[in-house]
Amino acid sequence: MLLFAVLAFAATAGAQVLIDTDFSDMDPVPANGTNNLSGEAVAISNGTMFWHGSRYNDTSNTPFIGEVGIDKEEDGGDAVEMSPDNPDVRFIRTGSNPVITDGKPTNHYFQVTPDAEFVNGGKVSLTISVHSTGKGINVYDATDGVLLGTIDISQAVKYKKEVVEFTLPEDFSGVKTLAFTRADVDGELAGVTFFTWHIKIETNVEEEEEVPTSISTPAYEGRVVSTQYYNINGMKVDSRFEALPAGIYIEVSRYENGAVATKKIIKGNR
């Protein structure tokens, strides 16, 4: 027997991408080797970037990259030079100790300002590479002048692109600017020159999801257009019956006329 589901909305945690750039969306595109934007921010998709002291497509210290890394080709490895003359090569080099004024970087840093607001924290993902044993990258709230923490890159492999992540505190909300520097020379995570290839910034959001809360007889017509399976606690599990492990589920079917029908099913072990 098919039964009608009364649906309620339940809040579930999710993530909203604020910035996702490999620098190909910069407008205008700075000249190779630019290390000071002279107070002018560069537009990127859904935000802006700025740097001072860091260099875009540095021509004096170019990165080497390999799938394995560790050594350059000339030393028996697979890392080759990434020439800034190649239009597909885009990076920001940060190689000197930062100058910090009133809690925020003022030299040898780069920063990103999303157009949208942060909500209850989020996450930063940087694709980076290093030429020597890496230590740390400092992350600043450049809006309020606060050092948020340090990304540990001490395990980074030389000459290889790797993704490192930083979790923003839950009270990090509003329109904010995030700034990045090499870590201090003092301390356990001393600074090292690093190349940034990609920046992704996310914030936390609450998403509403329909879940079945009660059942009754439906008035359904036509064919079923979608089917979804929930566990007995109302949490979405899968849309494929064959992918379900053994257990008790609620099958929710949606019809052409908009009606929703459910039934309780038991899937046994085969």
Residues 6+ apart with CB under 8 A from 207: 11, 12, 13, 14
Q: By C-alpha distance, which of 246, 244, 245, 251 is closest to 265?
A: 251
Residues 6+ apart with CB under 8 A from 57: 30, 32, 33, 34, 84, 89, 90, 91
- What is the distance between the alpha carbons of residues 91 and 84, in angstroms, rounded to a whole number? 9
122 lies in a domain?
yes
CA atoms within 13 A on the CB side of 14: 11
Q: Does 231 lie in the same domain as 159?
A: no
Residue 79 sits in a domain of what CATH number?
2.60.120.260
Q: Does 223 lie in the same domain as 198?
A: no
213 lies in a domain?
no
pLDDT, tens digit, 9 for 90 and up, residues 18-65: 999 999 999 989 999 998 877 789 999 999 999 999 999 999 999 999
In eight-state DSSP terms, residue 171 is T
pLDDT, tens digit, 9 for 90 and up, residues 221-242: 678 888 998 887 778 888 888 8
Residues 6+ apart with CB under 8 A from 56: 23, 30, 31, 32, 33, 34, 35, 90, 91, 92
Q: Does 240 lie in the same domain as 185?
A: no
Residues 6+ apart with CB under 8 A from 51: 35, 36, 37, 92, 109, 110, 111
140 lies in a domain?
yes
Per-residue confidence of the chain (270 residues) as pLDDT tens digits?
A: 344 444 554 555 578 999 999 999 999 899 999 988 777 899 999 999 999 999 999 999 999 999 998 899 999 999 999 999 999 999 999 988 889 999 999 999 999 999 999 999 999 999 999 988 768 899 999 999 999 999 988 888 999 999 999 999 999 999 999 999 998 655 555 668 899 999 999 998 765 555 555 555 555 667 888 899 888 777 888 888 888 888 888 888 888 877 888 888 888 875
Collapsing DSSP to helix, strand or coil, 101 comes out as strand
- Using CA of residue 86, residue 84, residue 32, residue 53, what is the dihedral sign? positive
Strand partners, 138: 150, 181
Number of folded domains that form the chain: 2
In eight-state DSSP terms, residue 174 is B
Q: Does 127 lie in the same domain as 244?
A: no
5 lies in a domain?
no
Widest CA span in the chain: 74
Answer yes or no: are the C-beta atoms of 109 and 54 closer than 8 Å: yes
Which residue segment(s) compose the domain that 70 sits in? 14-206
**CA–CA distances in Å: residue 160 to residues 34, 51, 91, 127, 239:** 24, 24, 13, 10, 39
Q: Does 194 lie in the same domain as 101?
A: yes
